């Protein structure tokens, strides 16, 4: 049986975010996405508020994965360290 949710990545996640992660965090984040977001993203993802309402975050150590759920597709918008993600996320939304 396949995963009930498909995962799609914003092109900047593939070009910028993932290559900047060291191999340990790359593996941890990939595992968390495959295990949690393909099975029950609404359970594992915490809803965000204010200007990024409608999006959710998944916490993996000190890193955050911000995503949106649309029609059984999890759209990953950004993967960054918690210290910079909330300043950077608006550049990808607007």
SS (H, E, C) the chain: CCCCCEEEECHHHHHHHHHHCCHHHHHHHHHHHHHHHCCCHHHHCEECCHHHCCCEEEEECCEEEEEEEECCEEEEEEEEECCCHHHHHHHHHC
Residue 80 backbone dihedrals phi, psi, to 5 degrees: -150, 170
pLDDT at residue 2 in the model: 57
The domains of the chain are located at: 6-93
pLDDT at residue 57 in the model: 98
CATH superfamily, with its number, for domain 6-93? RelE-like (3.30.2310.20)
- Cα–Cα distance for residue pair 80/1, rounded to 1 Å: 31
- Each of the 94 residues of the chain gets a pLDDT tens digit; together they read 456 999 999 999 999 999 999 999 999 999 999 999 999 999 999 999 999 999 999 999 999 999 999 999 999 999 999 999 999 999 998 6
Q: Look up the pTM and report it.
A: 0.92
């Amino acid at each position: 049986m396949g995963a009930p949710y498909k995962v799609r990545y914003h092109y900047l996640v593939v070009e910028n975010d993932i290559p900047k992660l060291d191999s340990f965090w790359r593996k941890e984040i990939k595992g968390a996405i495959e295990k949690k977001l393909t099975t029950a993203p609404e359970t594992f993802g915490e809803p965000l508020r204010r200007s990024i309402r409608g999006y959710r975050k998944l916490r993996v150590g000190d890193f955050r994965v911000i995503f949106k759920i649309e029609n059984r597709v999890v759209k990953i918008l950004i993967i960054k360290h918690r210290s910079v993600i909330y300043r950077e996320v608006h550049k990808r939304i607007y």
